[in-house]
Amino acid sequence: MSAATVLEAHIPGSKSITNRALLLAAAAPGRSRLRAPLVSDDTLAFRAALTDLGTGVRDVGDNGYGYGDGSGYGDGSGEVWEVTGRGTGPVGPGRVWCADAGTAARFLPPFAATGRGEIAFDGSDQLRARPLRPLLEALTGLGAKVSGTGLPFTLTANGLAGGRIELDSGLSSQYLSGLLMAAPLMGGPLTVDVPRLVSRPYVDMTLALMRHFGARVEERGGAITVHPGGYAPADLQIEPDASTASYFFAAAAVTGRTVRVQGLGTGGLQGDTAFVDVLRLAGAEVTRTDDWTEVTGTGPLRGGFTVDMGDISDTFMTMAAIVPLADAPVTITGIAHARLKESDRIAAVAGNLRALGIRVEEGPDRITVHPGVPAPATIDCHRDHRIAMSFSVLALRAAGITLDDPSCVAKTFPGFHGELSRLFG
Ligand SMILES: O=C(O)C1=C[C@@H](OP(=O)(O)O)[C@@H](O)[C@H](O)C1
Ligand SMILES: C=C(OP(=O)(O)O)C(=O)O
């Protein structure tokens, strides 16, 4: 096949947009439509949690088309979810199971706090280990009763009046996104002072989607003010997931092929589209239009640079895993918060690269990976979808790499292995 052949990757919907849209639609009075939502463990858990809290969600699309890989999932492109929201916070008693989804644990408690009654929250052992204290303390500061500082806990709600509060979002931006999305349901305006913030593009996404659902929000200096008045139902076309697309763009970069993702153009809501700029630094050719993004591998990967990936940390592993194929080391900085995700991602990447015989140095917020020839090894996925997907890209160019837990990709892309082998198999 010639290098000019364009491989069109079918990338399912953004997890972050899908779960925000589910919440905003649940908070709006009446029917909203979400087009091409992600269908995966994280979004199905979020949807089930909202259903358990009294939100109506039905499938009204054609359910997409299957991957033909036996995963049982479509890519969601033909899927439409109709959400019937109550226009208020939920009424307890209730139980919420967040599974492995950070977005569920961080977005649903503030929403619940605007309602009434007792709601018990819990999640998997992996999610229980992730920090929640700054968010729960902020909710307590605003008047909710919370039985602990992390999962599991019970929240006793009696509505929230609004006010002014400081929220340290230096461990996760999801705390701030969750609080902001609940704010239009409060009795008065809410102003949040944000002394530290990681993953800023996700907060921009939150504000853009809140406005799409009719909220009034202002930013001044380090503070954000949300006005009361609730939300209006809306129709939303969900973009393909930019973090998921990173694996397919990286695959193009290391195989000398061209991958295009339709629907992921300039002007989208996802910060992770900036991953292609890192591939460009490494020598790949990148073209972006309003409607699509395309990456072409141009020969051996170029290393010899340092890049801050703090804003796009879900994609640092995509890059780190392919650096062994580069001509010089690459240092990735600004990623301390990546240690607090599904796994300690800096340690997980470093451990797996060392198991492949690759030289790595790590610091609290950084990693340096050196070029080398990967030896055969089994990757310890740590039940982290992104470890599995990142090392699957390296495996396209290195023999003998297997995953101990390939199915953990279902958190965000159940059809991942089928799509990778459809394009590169
Ligand atoms: O708000 C979101 O949808 C997300 C924010 C990021 O988390 P942090 O803010 O914890 O870095 C990102 O890693 C996660 O996958 C999704
Ligand atoms: C960190 C992630 O997920 P979450 O925080 O939404 O569980 C991720 O998808 O990489």
Q: Give the type of residue at 153.
A: F
Note whether 317 and 259 are same-domain residues. yes
Average pLDDT over residues 306-329: 98
388: part of which helix (H) or strand (E)?
helix 385-394
User: 347's torsion region: left (phi>0), alpha (psi -120 to 50) or beta?
Assistant: alpha
Q: With respect to residue 232, please indicate whether it lies within any of the assigned structural domains.
A: no
Note whether 147 and 256 are same-domain residues. no
CA nearest neighbour of 374 among 391, 386, 361? 391
Residue 72 pLDDT grade (very low, low, confident, very high; cuts 50, 70, 90): very low
The DSSP secondary structure of 310-326, one letter per residue, reads GGGGGGHHHHHHHGGGB
Measured CA to CA, the distance from residue 131 to residue 385 in angstroms comes to: 19
Note whether 197 and 252 are same-domain residues. no
Q: With respect to residue 111, please indicate whether it lies within any of the assigned structural domains.
A: yes
Q: How many of the other CB atoms lie within 10 Å of CB of 209?
A: 21
Q: With respect to residue 236, please indicate whether it lies within any of the assigned structural domains.
A: no
Note whether 214 and 255 are same-domain residues. no
User: Are 402 and 378 contacting, i.e. CB atoms less than 8 angstroms apart?
Assistant: yes
* Predicted complex ipTM: 0.99
Q: What is the DSSP secondary structure assignment for residue 76, as one 8-state letter?
A: S
Question: In sequence order, what are the residues at sequence separation of 6 or more whose Cβ sits closer than 8 angstroms to the Cβ of residue 172?
Answer: 102, 106, 131, 198, 199, 337, 340
The set of protein residues with a Cβ atom below 6 angstroms from ligand 1 is: 16, 103, 172-174, 177, 198-199, 202, 313-314, 337
Beta-bridge mates of residue 237: 35
From the CA of 411, the nearest ligand is: 2
Per-residue pLDDT at 68: 38
Note whether 204 and 57 are same-domain residues. yes
Average pLDDT over residues 29-46: 96
Note whether 203 and 251 are same-domain residues. no
Spacing, Cα 327 to ligand 1 middle (Å): 31
Angle value at C-alpha 32, between 28 and 36, nearest 5 degrees: 135
pLDDT at 275 over 60: yes
Test site for ligand 2: of 169, 335, 411, 413, most ligand atoms within 8 A of the Cβ: 411
Per-residue pLDDT at 170: 97
pTM of the model: 0.96
Q: What is the CA radius of gyration of the chain?
A: 21
Per-residue pLDDT at 35: 94
Per-residue pLDDT at 20: 98
Residue 308 has φ and ψ, to the nearest 5°, of: -85, 115
The DSSP secondary structure of 210-231, one letter per residue, reads HHHTT--EEEETTEEEE-SS--
Q: With respect to residue 61, please indicate whether it lies within any of the assigned structural domains.
A: yes
Spacing, Cα 145 to ligand 2 middle (Å): 27
CA nearest neighbour of 41 among 126, 161, 115? 126
Test site for ligand 1: of 126, 173, 316, most ligand atoms within 8 A of the Cβ: 173
CATH of the domain at 92: 3.65.10.10
Residue 63 pLDDT grade (very low, low, confident, very high; cuts 50, 70, 90): low
Q: With respect to residue 306, please indicate whether it lies within any of the assigned structural domains.
A: yes
392 lines ligand 2 (CB under 6 A): no
pLDDT in tens, 345-355: 999 999 999 99
Per-residue pLDDT at 422: 97
Token pair listed for 329: 């080391």
pLDDT in tens, 331-375: 999 999 999 999 999 999 999 999 999 999 999 999 999 999 999
Q: 160, 193, 227: which is the final residue of a domain? A: 227
Q: Render the burial of 337-373: b for 16+ CB within 10 Å, e for the rest.
A: bbbbbbbbbbebbbbbbebbebebebeebbbbbbbbe
330 lines ligand 2 (CB under 6 A): no
Spacing, Cα 42 to ligand 2 middle (Å): 9
Average pLDDT over residues 394-417: 98
Whether residue 62 lies in the annotated active site: no
pLDDT in tens, 178-193: 999 999 999 999 999 9
Note whether 149 and 62 are same-domain residues. yes
Q: With respect to residue 1, please indicate whether it lies within any of the assigned structural domains.
A: no
Q: With respect to residue 2, please indicate whether it lies within any of the assigned structural domains.
A: no
Q: How many of the other CB atoms lie within 10 Å of CB of 191?
A: 16
Per-residue pLDDT at 62: 67
Q: From atom 3 of ligand 1, which residue's Cα is the shortest distance away?
A: 16
Test site for ligand 1: of 126, 314, 318, most ligand atoms within 8 A of the Cβ: 314
Question: In sequence order, what are the residues at sequence separation of 6 or more whose Cβ sits closer than 8 angstroms to the Cβ of residue 286?
Answer: 276, 277, 279, 280, 293, 294, 295, 296
Q: 3-state class of 362 per DSSP? A: strand
Note whether 378 and 334 are same-domain residues. yes
Residue 66 pLDDT grade (very low, low, confident, very high; cuts 50, 70, 90): very low
pLDDT in tens, 136-160: 999 999 999 999 999 999 999 999 9
Closest ligand 2 atom to Cα of 172: 5
Residue 61 pLDDT grade (very low, low, confident, very high; cuts 50, 70, 90): confident
pLDDT in tens, 190-201: 999 999 999 999
Q: 193, 227, 261: which is the final residue of a domain? A: 227
Spacing, Cα 425 to ligand 1 middle (Å): 31
Bond into 324 cis (ω within 30): no
166: part of which helix (H) or strand (E)?
strand 163-166
Residue 222 pLDDT grade (very low, low, confident, very high; cuts 50, 70, 90): confident
Note whether 280 and 211 are same-domain residues. no
Residue 413 pLDDT grade (very low, low, confident, very high; cuts 50, 70, 90): very high
- Candidates 314, 365, 384, 404; catalytic one: 314
Spacing, Cα 406 to ligand 1 middle (Å): 22
Note whether 152 and 290 are same-domain residues. no
The number of domains in the chain is 2
User: Are 230 and 241 contacting, i.e. CB atoms less than 8 angstroms apart?
Assistant: no
Q: How many of the other CB atoms lie within 10 Å of CB of 105?
A: 28
User: Are 21 and 236 contacting, i.e. CB atoms less than 8 angstroms apart?
Assistant: yes
Measured CA to CA, the distance from residue 306 to residue 367 in angstroms comes to: 10
- Rounded mean pLDDT of the chain? 95
pLDDT in tens, 9-29: 999 999 999 999 999 999 999
Per-residue pLDDT at 247: 98
Note whether 386 and 275 are same-domain residues. yes
Q: 227, 255, 285: which is the final residue of a domain? A: 227
Note whether 118 and 179 are same-domain residues. yes
pLDDT at 67 over 50: no
From the CA of 177, the nearest ligand is: 1
Spacing, Cα 307 to ligand 2 middle (Å): 21
Spacing, Cα 249 to ligand 2 middle (Å): 20
Q: With respect to residue 371, please indicate whether it lies within any of the assigned structural domains.
A: yes
Token pair listed for 120: 């018990």
101 lines ligand 2 (CB under 6 A): yes
Residue 75 pLDDT grade (very low, low, confident, very high; cuts 50, 70, 90): low
Q: Can you give the residue range of the structural domain that contains 396?
A: 242-424
Per-residue pLDDT at 70: 39
From the CA of 389, the nearest ligand is: 2
User: Are 26 and 56 contacting, i.e. CB atoms less than 8 angstroms apart?
Assistant: no
Q: From atom 6 of ligand 2, which residue's Cα is the shortest distance away?
A: 102
